Structure formats: structure tokens, C-alpha cells
Amino acid sequence: MDYLRLIKTDYTYAELSTSASPAVEKAMEEGGVPSTLMINYFSRDSITTGVLEDPEKSVDLKFCHEKGIMVRRRQNPGGAIFANQGSYMLCLYLHLSEPWVPFKSIREAFPFYLERMAQVIAEQFSLESRYRPVNDIEVKGRKLVATSARLEKGVLTLRSLVNVTPVDRKIMSGALIARPEKFKDKVHKDAGSRFTCLEEEAGRPIERHEMYALAENTMKRVFGPEIEIREGALTSKESQYLKQLQDKFSSDEWFFANSERTRFKNANPAARKVEAFHKAPAGLMGVVILALEGRVDDLILLADFHPSPMTVLAQMEDAIRGQPLEIKDLMDKVGQVYNAPGVEIPGTDLKDFETLLDKAIKLI
């Protein structure tokens, strides 16, 4: 019998993204845990940044401290996400070996899953919702659902943040650093104005049972009406991992691991630092280069999108480090990684990396 385990939780968004969700993933990767749907209600405001971002470049940490907004760095990719109290996260964890799973990659999953979720939202709430590539659902050009993805060891995770209650847009816009490159192809030019929520669009409060119905109807649209959804709870193994991860992700060591303050702490003081950003269809990509004597002395590649495996950018950094500051030399190395078997970076091509690196080189 095909079935999904259903877990209903009330974690904060930051706790869910950094601890509860990874605990489920870890247990699933080890085996013995079924494919799972988790529906989580957010009990307070919080923000997470993606593992491939520098939190100090994506979030105004001073502002967040002053406003009491919790900020955590996730272990999965994607951009900085603000989640307010009252909204929901639908987390879908799938063993891709299951024959009833209709997609086998992130590239296939985003459109298949989000097109059907958009249809369910349109029908259930009478809204003009639509899938916007690569990983959003919009209503009238404003984001209603933001989705991140992770694919490791045969387990695909799709996490969809459904904005349900209105956000204080001044607070969110103050908390998230909105780089102009990110919004160059969008109507709304700041983070707050790009978002909407179910209560605003429906013109009424949204009850919990409606969100549970949205999740269940989406699952049946994606996997077929025969899919069984069985309510359950975390296993003892998952609960153990949850505690371990809560300790890890509350530490500064983890939070600043991909930041300049950590990665460049032993940098040569003679090196010249430049940074550049570029908006690819997948999302915002960035690079910080330390240039010394005509070569790349060190660098950090940043992304708010979803490469697979997640080590791809680190592999590119290793390939570029020490190379001459010539775009052809750098792109030869990037291309070797980008075109390697098993590498998947939906919504990008080599031209995007060339544009990004060329911007940086021209600043040196």
C-alpha cells in the first residue's frame, strides 16, 4: 500500500528548518522511516538563511536583534526566508526509490509539485494562483508560496512555506537585505512588496483545518487519489537527532561558517577584496574574491538557489582558487565542475557564472 506518514507540528520556522526537518531527513537516509508529510504551524516570527549564503550579506543582523527576530542558518540551500507567526510549512520527504513518486530530480519536482499545489490553492480559495519557475507560487505577481529543495542519498525534500497571515512588510524589508540585482526582472523592487498571503487574497481568516485540507488535496493531486495519509509522530531516533541539531544550529560557529569573518579570517592582508552579484533565473548568485598578484588568492561563491549536490560551489571554489584572474581560465575550471556527471543546477547555465565572475574581475 502506498502511503505517507503525516506529522502535525508547531515549531517556529527556524526550529523546523534547522532542527526538526533535518532530523527527519537524517533518519530517512539511514532507512526504516517512511516517506513523510509534515505540516507545521509557526508559533512566532523567525528567519533562516540558506547554507550557501553569507548571513551577513542576506540579513540585517543588527535590525533583527533589535526587533527580537530569531535568525538561523539552514543546512539546505535557498535564499533568506522570513516566516511570521500564523503561517505554515508543508514539508514533503520522499524516498525516490518508491515507484509511486512521479519525479526523480529537483528539476522535475519543482514544476510537477508546484503546478499541482497552485491548482489546489486556486480551487480551494478561489484565487488566481500560478506556478512561477523556478520554485514559487504567485498570486497577481506576488509570492504566496516559496519552496526549497534538497536531494541527498536518494531522499528528496520539498519544503513549501505558505504565507497565511499578513506580514509586517516594514519589519521584513528591514530584516532582509534586498540587493537590486535580485529584483531587476520583477515588478516589486523590495522584499516586502513581493509577498502576499492567503488571508489578504481570500479576504478572511484561514483556519487550521483548511491548511490540512490544502496539504492533503495537494498530495492526492501529486501522487494520485489512492495515496494513503497516515497520521503519526517522530520516532525515538528522530527525537534524538532533533536535540542534537538544536544544539548545533544555535551556535555561532555554524551560523558564520560561510561568512567572510570565518572563511577569510587568515587572509593575506595584501589581497584586494571585490564582490559581485548576478541574478540567474534560479536566483541570486554572488562571489567574493581575494585577488593577489594577478591570481585568485581565495574566494567564496554564494547562491540563494538549489544546486545538487550541495558541494558543487565548493568544488568550483577549489577549482578556481589559485588560478589567473582571466575569465577564460576561470571558466575552463568552472565548466569542468558544472558539466561533471551528477551535477544539477536548475535555472542556471555557464553564461551566468561567466557574467558573475567577469563582473568581479572588472572591479579588481
Q: Is residue 273 part of a domain?
A: yes
CATH number (domain holding residue 334): 3.30.390.50
Does pLDDT of 187 surpass 50?
Answer: no
Give the span between the Cα atoms of 83 and 16, in whole angstroms. 11
Give the span between the Cα atoms of 323 and 67, in whole angstroms. 43
Residue 138 shares a structural domain with residue 182: yes
What is the value of pTM for the model shown? 0.72
- The residue among 199, 225, 253 that closes a domain is 253
Residue 278 shares a structural domain with residue 155: no
Task: Please state the domain count of the chain.
Answer: 2
Residue 269 shares a structural domain with residue 249: no
Q: Is residue 136 part of a domain?
A: yes
Q: Is residue 202 part of a domain?
A: yes
- The strand pair at 36-41 and 3-9 is best described as parallel
CATH number (domain holding residue 76): 3.30.930.10
What's the mean per-residue pLDDT of the chain? 94
Residue 241 shares a structural domain with residue 276: no
Residue 159 shares a structural domain with residue 99: yes
Residue 272 shares a structural domain with residue 129: no
Residue 93 shares a structural domain with residue 150: yes
Residue 195 shares a structural domain with residue 338: no
- The residue among 253, 284, 319 that closes a domain is 253
Q: How confident is the model at residue 96 (pLDDT cuts 50, 70, 90)?
A: very high
More confident residue, 101 or 180: 101
CB 168 within 8 A of CB 67: no
Residue 176 shares a structural domain with residue 237: yes
- The residue among 253, 274, 289 that closes a domain is 253
Whole domain around residue 297: which residue ranges? 264-363
Q: Is residue 259 part of a domain?
A: no
Predicted pLDDT at 178: 85
Give the span between the Cα atoms of 74 and 71, in whole angstroms. 10
pLDDT in tens, 278-323: 999 999 999 999 999 999 999 999 999 989 999 999 999 999 999 9
Does pLDDT of 353 surpass 50?
Answer: yes
Predicted pLDDT at 2: 79
Does pLDDT of 190 surpass 70?
Answer: no
Determine the average pLDDT of the residues in 34-46: 95
Q: Which of 94, 190, 192, 149 is nearest to 305 (CA)?
A: 149
